[in-house]
Amino acid sequence: MTENSTVAAGDVPQLNPLYLLRWEEPQQAHVMLYPEGVVKLNETAAAILLLCDGQRTAADIVADLNSRYTDADVSAGVYRFLETSHAKGWIRIKS
Amino acid sequence: MPKAGSGLSLDGDRIPMWLVLELTYRCPLHCAWCNNPLDFDNYRNELSTEEWKRVLREARAMGSLQLGFSGGEPLLREDLEELVGEADGLGFYTNLITSGIGLSRERLQVLKAKGLKQIQLSLQSSDRAITDSLVGAKAFDAKLAAAREIKRHGFPMVLNVPICRQNIEQTEEILKLAEEIGVDYLEFANIQYYNWALLNRSEFLPTREQIAMAEAAVARTRARLGKKMTIYFVIPDYFDERPKACMNGWGAIHLTIAPDGSALPCQEARVIPGLEFPSVRDAPLAWIWHESPVFNEFRGDSWMKEPCRSCPEKEQDFGGCRCQAYLLTGNAANTDPVCAKSPQHHLVVDAVAEAVAPGRRHRPIVMRRRDSINTAFMGCGG
Ligand SMILES: C[S@@+](CC[C@H](N)C(=O)[O-])C[C@H]1O[C@@H](n2cnc3c(N)ncnc32)[C@H](O)[C@@H]1O
Ligand code: SF4
Ligand code: SF4
């Protein structure tokens, strides 16, 4: 399942088309909906996944988030989350 | 239905996240493991289009999110498309659970336009003759055609294969067929023994050797395909030492509405006698979910007896399945006898042993038909 899930700066992540990511008012959270389940996302996870639009590179995503969350460098956390998301099949790397 | 490994991480908000509407129990097929009630023909007083729409609005207002249109065969309802449109407009993630019979190209187009998000199709075998004999009708070609049309219309697709002794040895071929169709999620659903399936249990239970072979075939395919196709294979709970976390707990996240409007904590709950299931025709859904006696009957863990009461695992499995506890032990508040800690665990061990005993007398398989068995003693459904 988790074969080759490292994400490099130049990779372009994209939400898996089987998944639907959207704001859910009753939960006051973003959720990811897919054929076999629901995942409720915390704020950071949602912020990252919303940027996985098949246009931005991983480096772009880091830069975008760094400009918003200025207190610390988010880089390591973002890569780790992208790798987990990739392993879980939530995102794909566009080739 | 919530599956093991579904990534369902929604906390105990006690919202009926998972709503299943059983639009009708009418069905062109006769699957002998069908989990519909034995007296399915007594449920002809189906909710009207407007009544279903009201259910949808009430459920969505409570935070329901995942929605399955099931049955019976939901395609037999001519208002299916209209209901899908209503549900999509309300913000549900809509799922059609179908045998594929009647799923024409035209209907698929309309369903897509109405916002249907995914389709779960049931298939019983990679072999035409075996499929047709298992469902009691010529269905294989129609199911396969439906599968290809579903993918052509770009729907995410779950293929549900109910597993029994008759088809488990085709696991390898079923995997190949699913791969060739382009299935996204392949679910080997080991038959759960309620209603029709329970009647036929001794004929359907696979052997341990069969299960091991099927698991090996799944593992080989997983290694080869990686993320291309997600494969679920859950071993039948009869072969386990611990019960399934049925429905994630009674009245926790799952709500089923039967064709006549009865609200059920799970599809099988009517097998437990003495419970009164309120109808959406008579009471607001929020009251039914939060306040009605039946939804609180086995909620949480205060109803539990030993060994569950003092067991550290009760947070994980909620003591297993209430319906199975009733059907096998006669008391729905008992520990699910699938659990090795249950004093009645031998009932499950014996059922498995009996099914594979050499020289056992085979029973004829009872197909799901109106006149297969006498249900007069059961009273009126719902
Ligand atoms: C009851 S059917 C209703 C929808 C439709 N008629 C169909 O067959 O897909 C819903 C799903 O439950 C599965 N199913 C039926 N009886 C079952 C049982 N006893 N154990 C496990 N799955 C079962 C079917 O394979 C199907 O995927
Ligand atoms: S499982 Fe078979 S008999 Fe039961 S509703 Fe589905 S298609 Fe009909
Ligand atoms: S005793 Fe009850 S709670 Fe403990 S593992 Fe068995 S079923 Fe689960």
Mean pLDDT of A23-46: 88
Give start and end residues of each alpha helix (H) in B182-207.
195-199, 201-204
Tally of residues, chain B = 382
CA distances from B279 to B52, B273, B289, B295, B315 (A): 12, 17, 11, 12, 30
Using an 8 Å Cβ cutoff, are B100 and B146 in contact? yes
Which atom of ligand 2 sits closest to the CA of residue B368? 3
Low-confidence ranges of chain B (pLDDT < 50): 1-12, 379-382
CA distances from A93 to A54, A78, A81, B156 (A): 8, 15, 14, 19
Determine the pLDDT at residue A67: 87
Residue to substitute from B15, B60, B222, B230, interface A, most A β-carbons within 10 A: B230
Determine the pLDDT at residue A88: 87
Determine the pLDDT at residue A95: 73
Ligand 3, atom 5, lies closest to the CA of B313
Q: Which amino acid is at B301?
A: D
Structure tokens at A64: 């975008």
* CA pair distance B155, B118, nearest whole angstrom: 5
Mean pLDDT of A33-50: 89
Q: Show contacts of B304-310: CB within 8 Å, 24+ apart.
A: B304/B333, B305/B333, B305/B334, B305/B335, B307/B335, B307/B339, B307/B341, B307/B342, B307/B343, B308/B335
Chain B segment 326-365 residues within 8 A of A by beta carbon are: none
Determine the pLDDT at residue A68: 83
- Tell me the pLDDT tens digit for each residue of A46-71: 999 999 999 999 999 999 998 887 77
Determine the pLDDT at residue B283: 97
Closest residue, chain A, to B9 (C-alpha): A39
**Which chain B residues touch A84 with a CB distance below 8 Å?**
none
Distance of CA A18 to the CA centre of its chain: 14
The answer to whether ipTM exceeds 0.85 is: no
Chain A touched by B98 (CB under 8 Å): no
Which atom of ligand 2 sits closest to the CA of residue B135? 2
**Ligand lying closest to the C-alpha of residue B368:** 2
Determine the pLDDT at residue A17: 86
The dihedral built from the CA positions of residue B173, B178, B179 and B180, taken in this order, carries a sign that is: positive
* CA pair distance B160, B125, nearest whole angstrom: 10
> How does residue A1 score in pLDDT terms, banded at 50, 70 and 90?
very low
* Cβ neighbourhood burial of B290 (10 Å; 0-12, 13-18, 19+): middle
* CA pair distance A21, A33, nearest whole angstrom: 6
| DSSP summary character for residue B342 | S
